[in-house]
Chain A
């Protein structure tokens, strides 16, 4: 049985191809490509990826317009059924705007676009996305964003911490994120949003291969479930 994944492309997405290449290399089957205006996703998906970029030119707020697109209604429906959904960078912003994940991503505290590799701590290695890492492990992934400053009120942050829903934390100060949060899970654990780009760290030539384990975890979780 092959791994059936889909990569959603919005107008202004620019990491959709990288995401598709990573999924194909690691899962062994090319993901289906879905357009923002599609009303439905392909059936029986094992994995949905929302890529990075600047969907709809970041108009209004990053991810706000994409969250209202027809395909996102289908993504919300599938997420509720338990289908794994990964949102990277702009994809994370879209997930918060749809309400699938709590919080919001604001302008970086230093107001600059940040494009570099950063150290991350894996906080939760129990999720279907992070089972291939060790809890507390330090990994290196690239970030490239202007709006990655994670904000949620203190009660929400406490709940995320208590429920083990902080997946990744920046190893040092990057963008002003509350409690250095770099990636969060939904309550059911099947939706992950993160600012760093695992799909840009899968080959030696990328400078890091630490992103591979995330996709490998997702593929393995399907095989063993």
Chain B
């Protein structure tokens, strides 16, 4: 099963990279951008019976640094899994 880990900077943590991208977008003439924050997406291919607890532990122990980052685990919905034939 494919699992996506979305990692983002916590609110309040300054994101100089996001600010630079923001300026660059404005430099290209795009208007109305209020804020840009740059995060990270990690895709894992894991055994179908991998528990939520295990995924959570992976995030806490390595994938995210909780001093500065939040994480969100996105698992494929049951319907999508059924359509892909991963579950019956």
Q: Which residues of A contact B (CB under 8 A)?
A: 60-61, 64, 68, 96-97, 102-104, 106-111, 149, 151-153, 176
Chain A contacts for B63, CB-based, 8 A: 60
Beyond the given pairs A104-B68, A176-B14, 9 more chain A to chain B contacts, judged by CB atoms under 8 angstroms and listed by A's residue number, are A60-B62, A64-B65, A97-B65, A106-B68, A110-B16, A111-B17, A149-B16, A151-B13, A176-B16
B interface residues, how many (CB within 8 angstroms): 10
Within 8 A of A (CB), among B59-86: 62-63, 65, 67-68
11 of the cross-chain contacts (CB-CB < 8 Å) are: A60-B62, A60-B63, A64-B62, A106-B68, A111-B17, A149-B16, A151-B13, A151-B14, A152-B67, A153-B67, A176-B16
Q: Collect the chain A residues with CB atoms within 8 Å of residue B17's CB.
A: 107, 111
B20 within 8 A of A: yes
Give the 10 A-B residue pairs with the shortest CB-CB distance, closest first. A104-B67, A104-B68, A109-B16, A111-B16, A104-B65, A111-B20, A107-B16, A151-B68, A61-B65, A107-B17
Cβ of A176: which chain B residues have Cβ within 8 Å of it? 14, 16
Q: Mark B1-31, 1 if CB is under 8 A from A, else 0.
A: 0000000000001101100100000000000
Task: Output the least CB separation between A64 and chain B (Å).
Answer: 7
- Whether B67 and A96, one on each chain, are in contact in the complex, defined by CB atoms closer than 8 angstroms, is yes
